[in-house]
Amino acid sequence: MNHQHTPASPAAGPDPYFPNSGDTRYRVHRYELALDYRPGPNRLGGTARLSAVAGTALPEFALDLAEFRIGRVLVDGKAARYTHRGGKLRVRPAKALTAGAAFTVEVHYTGNPRPVRSPWGGLGWEELTDGALVASQPVGAPSWFPCNDRPADKATYQIAVTTPSPYTVVIGGRLLTRTTRASSTTWVYEQSAPTSTYLVTVSIGQYQPVQLAERPAVPQTGHVPERLAGGFAADFARQPQMMSFFEEVFGPYPFGEYAVVVADEELDVPVEAQGVATFGTNHLGGGWERERLIAHELAHQWFGNSVSIADWSHIWLNEGLAKYAEWLWSEYSGGPSAAKRAAAAHTLLAGLPQDLRLGDPGRKLMFDDRLYQRGGLTVHAVRCAVGDRAFFRLLKDWTVLNRHGVVSTADFRAHCARYAGGPLDGLFAAWLHDPALPAFPSSPRPPVL
């Protein structure tokens, strides 16, 4: 069941942190991308076909797209006029689109893809020593395809990538076909679940597949440089168990399959995408610090990917719930309890500056490590306030009711209130809006009889 939002939802306006990203006047419901990529010269040629609906009368509309050379732009099959600068492709159809009209836009483009600049370094399409990967959060998707780059505008995708035959192409979704002609192979993937633009990924490399589970409910495959296959199988051996546990506490896995890529380089952090997580060689080697990352990326499939945020000011919902999933896994798998992990996070935060407003951290602090820790603590505070029985019902219902939908902090607060028997205004005011760190939450004592 999809969660329907009123037009007053924050999804309706421009993103407060990235007001220049996306165009709120239309919605895309499907992307069809046909790409040809040559790793040596790092050359990408593409045709993108977007099926969309105008929310209002549109004499013109905008797509986000980095500095590629545009071959032509068609709207409903007819040539359209366009300008392309500053990462915006502004399109003027031959005839203005009427409110509510379904339309298609087709863009033919070529160039050398590179990450778009951001306060966090380059985002999006990244050329590797041998191959490429995409890590777009939050605004890197235009580095490789024309899109309406807003997390709330979720669409289905079909992506075809043609590349030299020694390379494997991994994309979130189901592999429909793989066709080899001469020295090139075309891989076609279908992602039928609604997906935010920043969660669409491509990995191209010389990878070996590693099946992670014998007879899993959810197919789980690793794609790994050959020399690392043995180490990978050992390090990720508990992922199928994690998947079963998360399905138990968060509800059914929201997609058809889960792929893990280990790129043949070191990466700052692993990257979640819809149905795929990408790790660096530095994330192998075992131990809790690496195992918690496996749990974190897997948990994002529920929190962030299936249940997506209306805009970037709500990022604590993605990161706080994924952080809490790490602590739940620790508790379940025989490590320290979630309460112990939460207490350690509280001690850590107590020694750091307290200038973060979790419920609206601002662009500068949206990926600050304190947001993850405090987000996890906020979820723990809810658990302490409502008790375990209600808490685990609340968690599962949140992912099931909002499956493939879009949510805000206000939605989460209202959802929690239903399980608490009343509003949790004091709790949320303290944890989300007051920068000072509240006291460590403790569970309510059972009544004395």
Considering the domain boundaries, does residue 4 fall inside one? no
Q: Which residue has the tokens 């499956």?
A: 403
Number of H helices and E strands in the chain, helices first, is: 9, 22
Last residue of a domain, one of 240, 274, 308: 308
CA dist., res. 399 & res. 35, Å (int): 33
Q: Terminus-to-terminus CA distance in the chain, angstroms?
A: 42
CA dihedral 212, 216, 219, 221 (to 10 degrees): 0
Distance CA 380, CA 418 (A): 17
Residues 46, 23 share a domain: yes
The CATH code of the domain that includes 303 is 1.10.390.10
420 phi/psi in degrees, rounded to 5: -95, -5
Residues 192 and 244 in one domain: no
Asked, for residue 289, whether it belongs to a domain, the answer is yes
The answer on 376 and 360 residing in a single domain is yes
**Are residues 167 and 187 in contact, defined by beta-carbon separation less than 8 angstroms?**
no
Count: domains in the chain = 3
Distances (CA, A) of 191 to 157, 172, 209: 5, 6, 20
414 and 286 belong to one structural domain: no
Low-confidence ranges of the chain (pLDDT < 70): 1-11, 214, 444-449
> 170, 200, 230: which is the final residue of a domain?
200
323 shares its domain with 416: yes
User: Do residues 106 and 80 lie in contact, with contact meaning Cβ atoms separated by under 8 Å?
Assistant: no
Question: Residue 176's domain spans which residues?
Answer: 18-200
3-state class (DSSP) for residue 36: strand
Burial of 230 (0-12, 13-18, 19+ CB in 10 A): exposed
For 416, phi then psi, to 5°, come to -65, -35
Residues in the chain: 449
Q: Which residues pair with 349 in a beta bridge?
A: none
Residue 231, domain member (yes or no): yes
Say what the pLDDT of residue 422 is: 86
Residues 6 or more apart whose Cβ sits within 8 Å of residue 420: 382, 385, 386, 390
- Do residue 127 and residue 212 come from a single domain? no
Task: Please name which of 35, 30, 72, 80 lies closest in space to residue 53, comparing C-alpha atoms.
Answer: 30
Residue 342 lies in a domain: yes
- Does one domain contain both 176 and 34? yes
The upper half-sphere exposure of residue 333, i.e. CA atoms within 13 Å in the direction of its Cβ, equals 19
Q: What are phi and psi of 380, to 5 degrees?
A: -65, -40
State both tokens at 380.
């723990």
Shared domain check, 43 and 106: yes
**CB count, 10 Å around CB of 414?**
11
Strands 131-135 and 202-205, by their bridges, are antiparallel
Same domain, 267 and 341: no
**pLDDT score recorded for residue 191:** 98
Distance CA(123)–CA(120), nearest Å, equals 8
Residue 133 lies in a domain: yes
> Which of the listed residues 284, 308, 332 is the one where a domain comes to its end?
308
Using DSSP's 3-state secondary structure scheme, residue 114 falls into: coil
388, part of any domain: yes
Rounded to whole angstroms, the Cα distance separating 319 from 272 reads: 11
Same domain, 341 and 236: no
CATH number of the domain within which 78 lies? 2.60.40.1730
Report the C-alpha gap between 358 and 372 in whole angstroms: 9
The runs of H, that is alpha helices, within 333-387 are 338-350, 369-386
| Both tokens assigned to 252 | 């059914």
Domain match, 264 and 357 both? no
Kindly state whether residue 449 falls inside one of the protein's structural domains: no
> Do residues 248 and 326 share a domain?
no
Task: Write down the pLDDT at residue 11.
Answer: 52
5 assigned to some structural domain: no
